[in-house]
Structure 1
């Protein structure tokens, strides 16, 4: 693989030559590796840091530098931000924000605690998590569980503006971070399990005024799709590309939610994200491809108009949400430097596309046990080009309602869920935290009622046949579409990875270990057990000339929902309570930030 210019360097170069692509203040901070101002580290979603003080030779010497208790005991996803001398820490519901002064022993400078109605908690799927804050032009942006988007003054915590993005009474909630682009804040929505018609929305960064909204499912004008110009695998999508793939008005309760990650290419001026599962989970009740659920979207951030789409799992039968991150890199393909987008989907396939055109280049399994489909049809002359070839044995629809299909791999939790992968331009590899897990699936008839769960399936999660482990940390060659190396883990890895210029990759485990491995070989170099299971994303920053590594621990999320919510029925949490029952032998509830550094010599 030839890498002439890593994605992080590319974005820094663009920031210096094209000041109009975003607000100058944000771009200045993005270019400073001492800070982290977005959850994704950079616009390309690489989760790569150029800091190298901590490296493969000395990472074994890491020590705890300081800790901070958040005061909340649910799943702690996402990571802190560092802007200048300030660190910003968020919590799960009620979504408290702390501003800590790194110059004065992490003293609390201000605290923002939203007054949210606790009735939103039972509406939230899979724990009360929040995947973090974003910084934009001297403001901290929080998207609360109740869908309120808030802009806070970074120095004082004073509310600049707030706007309500959805209605929890209909099942609309939020767990995701936001994407600041130019003068806009891009946000998504959750609620697929309640039959929400989901969307992505842009708000004015200064005022909070809504600029545009694009739905995942529905008429062309609602989706902001141009039938003649928006393409799918190189061809125009055509008129009514979504509604004609649904029966009647089912698209109005069709899901396609947008609770994952956003990335942005300033050169192409396109933002990328994925849409989630169609509603209901019972595929028999919604014939058709159910477009554009389970889809990668490329949109213009100024207008919201879609340039291209690619549907990974047409007519989903397994709850394989397509919301996982889109990682943007520039690499040689066939001897030609190509703008790429790499996506590790819940369905177990790792996809590489040309992000300028939406052309599909690679679609291969990143977990060998994936069996619901034999492969993705890559024959451009085939009428099924770009579609998965489904194995009838593992099709719940073919098995029928009120009947159980067993041994489906991966489980509904996905071969990888929202936990973000990382990319290193030094090795050309992606580092993927995965779920090595299978399921049983029983669909049943369900009737839509506003604000009531609209699931229609009972799911059980189990390790693959003959195995006990449910996790692996995978190094992936995105151009070749193959595993470079893989590290088995006893439980799914629900923590986001971080790659660094020091040749080290970090991740956390559900038992609570922070681990550091060699980026080239995968050799374990360091581990430390934090007070609770890690479902947060590892981050790094530099302060006072010293590099630090930080991670939130607090078990929860879908994999840890049994512990987080005190559930005991194995079927609860869409099967996660039973699938991860042994986790309670290794960790307990918590809510803590742990910060590491090398000893001072």
Structure 2
């Protein structure tokens, strides 16, 4: 007879003693709030720091402690890392990485400049951004524009190994930050606007060898789902869950990019991430043989996957048969929330479609799905009736139903625009208040699909967009506090432009973020009251971070306008329809800021 008590004890011991349940080096570094060891602050993706030297009472006294020019213009997304006395800085293309000595006036210890063919810039969708490097076991992991995944020696900057993740000649590019989990480096890929069938890949941390790859759509063996064990809304996904929701072989050019930030639960051994838009943007070219919409699974999806095998535990599709490029790549955030009087381990996600979702992170049960932007008009809500055949799906407003969006027909007044009610700029979860702090957009659009032919390496978009401010609001964005358990806005602070900067919360009671016109701001987490602002040299699309050095807390952020919202300034574009309509939507931004590329660090006097 098997002694189950002995087995349980052995499993419990293994969980405590075996570092394989998470990368112990990353765990230990991120537990020390003096470091900023992961792009998202921790494996849960909370972007919350326990540092509390800077408080609501003294944050107004912040001064610029030091600045650093990256030497590169264009959009500076992501943020630096701090490990001990060294800060690791990255840039947009050409994806330079530098190590700065914080003990000696930020002296450059080493500088790494990857060799890339500059032609890759032509296939980068929405600026030449890079969302950050990661650190583990003495290595800096960099995902370059040409899709190379590089491991650099953190002490010297020398290349340790290199893996090629995709083919830029087919339209694949690298813009996302990798994540190190256990002995693996997990990385996604861009290319949905070029008809690339995208995927998430795990590489061995020590050798760079590919361990597994999970495609966003295709046969079960490619997307790594078990028809009977992978769940969606409480039911097995079934055989060929993806193939039967595409017309013919269109899944082979199906998109579903995976360039967003990820989160990891070491207890469940699950990694969480989102997939993006199906290709093409013209929904009329993606209908089924009967001319009716089909879901195009698994684009626009949150996946929970086993890190060891890549097999999907559960999946949820936010926007089936996406019509408006509502990419589902936005970051997942893990927390424990009180829902209906019970503590639930959850994952929360603010989708571009305008809904804030909360799921049970183990099962994928949908717990909350509410609009975090009240201006959203393409849908009236999410069907939360478990007995309904449309359970978990958005309720489409008749004006915007797919049958109304044929080729060369312009649909006007869709809110949000393809920029989304929130784009890649990550939200933060404060363990102090139990609230989420979310950068948002209030931009609407007119959308005209047109017929497009697929050619490898050429744009496969198929839509012309015109963007403009949402009606009845003078501001293009807001910074909000969100109650993830109740699905409601607690407070909202309006901003002139979309808030394209990642948020940071701290134990000092502050939420930090930046604005497109270049202000770095601090607000009270409980009230939204603005306590500090400083105009940096350029618009901020980077993510605020904090660290401790020499007994002093610093807060730092990149400034360098760009990304999709700032592409007009970053790339010198003037046609209002360029940047998929963003140039026209943000034409007035040039009156407030200019291009740049720098890091600004703040501290108390």
Question: Do both share a fold (TM > 0.5)?
Answer: yes
Determine if contact 1:534/1:553 at 8 Å carries over to the other structure: yes
Residue 130 of structure 1: aligned partner = 130
Residue 190 of structure 1: aligned partner = 190
Give 3-state SS (helix, strand or coil) of 1:103's partner: coil
Residue 9 of structure 2: aligned partner = none
Are residue 356 (structure 1) and residue 362 (structure 2) matched? yes
Are residue 273 (structure 1) and residue 277 (structure 2) matched? no
Give 3-state SS (helix, strand or coil) of 1:474's partner: strand
Q: 1:51 to 1:128 in 2, by over 3 A?
A: same
2-side partners of 1:404 and 1:454: how far apart?
19
Are residue 558 (structure 1) and residue 564 (structure 2) matched? yes
Give 3-state SS (helix, strand or coil) of 1:575's partner: helix
Give 3-state SS (helix, strand or coil) of 2:579's partner: coil
What whole-Å deviation, never above 9, does each CA across 1:280-300 have from its counterpart, x for those lacking one? 001111121000000000000
2-side partners of 1:236 and 1:84: how far apart?
46
1-side partners of 2:280 and 2:452: how far apart?
8
Are residue 531 (structure 1) and residue 537 (structure 2) matched? yes
Residue 415 of structure 2: aligned partner = 409
Give 3-state SS (helix, strand or coil) of 2:541's partner: coil
| Per-residue deviation, 1:401 | 1.2
| Per-residue deviation, 1:185 | 0.1
1-side partners of 2:409 and 2:27: how far apart?
54
| Per-residue deviation, 1:15 | 9.7
Q: 1:107 to 1:420 in 2, by over 3 A?
A: same
Residue 225 of structure 1: aligned partner = 225
| Residue pairs, 1:202-281, within 5 angstroms | 202-281=202-281
Residue 574 of structure 1: aligned partner = 580
Q: 1:576 to 1:396 in 2, by over 3 A?
A: farther
| Per-residue deviation, 1:468 | 3.1
Determine if contact 1:329/1:340 at 8 Å carries over to the other structure: yes
The match for 1:391 among 387, 393, 397 is: 397
Determine if contact 1:563/1:589 at 8 Å carries over to the other structure: yes
2-side partners of 1:467 and 1:478: how far apart?
25
Determine if contact 1:396/1:404 at 8 Å carries over to the other structure: no
Determine if contact 2:86/2:102 at 8 Å carries over to the other structure: yes
Are residue 43 (structure 1) and residue 49 (structure 2) matched? no
Determine if contact 1:15/1:27 at 8 Å carries over to the other structure: no
| Residue pairs, 1:576-595, within 5 angstroms | 576-595=582-601
Determine if contact 2:283/2:406 at 8 Å carries over to the other structure: no
| Per-residue deviation, 1:21 | 1.3
Give 3-state SS (helix, strand or coil) of 2:580's partner: coil
What whole-Å deviation, never above 9, does each CA across 1:191-224 have from its counterpart, x for those lacking one? 0000010000000000000000000100000001
Residue 465 of structure 2: aligned partner = 459
What whole-Å deviation, never above 9, does each CA across 1:455-496 have from its counterpart, x for those lacking one? 111011111123332100010000000000000001000000
| Per-residue deviation, 1:18 | 6.0
| Residue pairs, 1:308-387, within 5 angstroms | 308-387=314-393
Residue 180 of structure 1: aligned partner = 180
Number of residue pairs aligned between Structure 1 and Structure 2: 586
The match for 2:434 among 424, 428, 435 is: 428
2-side partners of 1:24 and 1:506: how far apart?
29
| Per-residue deviation, 1:425 | 1.2
1-side partners of 2:281 and 2:564: how far apart?
17
1-side partners of 2:23 and 2:250: how far apart?
40
Determine if contact 2:352/2:420 at 8 Å carries over to the other structure: yes
Q: Which runs of 5+ in 1 are unaligned?
A: 1-13
Give 3-state SS (helix, strand or coil) of 1:104's partner: coil
| Per-residue deviation, 1:24 | 2.3
| Per-residue deviation, 1:397 | 4.6
1-side partners of 2:305 and 2:428: how far apart?
23
What whole-Å deviation, never above 9, does each CA across 1:62-121 have from its counterpart, x for those lacking one? 000000000001100000000011000000000000100000000000000011101000
Residue 145 of structure 2: aligned partner = 145
Residue 110 of structure 2: aligned partner = 110
Q: 1:337 to 1:110 in 2, by over 3 A?
A: same
Determine if contact 1:283/1:397 at 8 Å carries over to the other structure: no
The match for 1:495 among 494, 501, 511 is: 501
Are residue 508 (structure 1) and residue 496 (structure 2) matched? no
Residue 3 of structure 1: aligned partner = none
2-side partners of 1:327 and 1:22: how far apart?
17
Residue 11 of structure 2: aligned partner = none
| Per-residue deviation, 1:17 | 7.0
Determine if contact 2:19/2:182 at 8 Å carries over to the other structure: no
| Per-residue deviation, 1:23 | 2.8
Give 3-state SS (helix, strand or coil) of 1:340's partner: strand
2-side partners of 1:212 and 1:57: how far apart?
49
TM-score by length of 1: 0.96
2-side partners of 1:464 and 1:16: how far apart?
52
1-side partners of 2:602 and 2:417: how far apart?
35
TM-score by length of 2: 0.96
Residue 3 of structure 2: aligned partner = none
Give 3-state SS (helix, strand or coil) of 1:584's partner: helix
What whole-Å deviation, never above 9, does each CA across 1:272-317 have from its counterpart, x for those lacking one? 0000000000111112100000000000011000000000000000
| Residue pairs, 1:590-601, within 5 angstroms | 590-599=596-605
Determine if contact 1:153/1:160 at 8 Å carries over to the other structure: yes
Determine if contact 1:291/1:311 at 8 Å carries over to the other structure: yes
Residue 445 of structure 2: aligned partner = 439
Q: Which runs of 5+ in 2 are unaligned?
A: 1-13, 288-293
Determine if contact 1:45/1:263 at 8 Å carries over to the other structure: yes
Structure 1 vs Structure 2 CA RMSD: 1.1
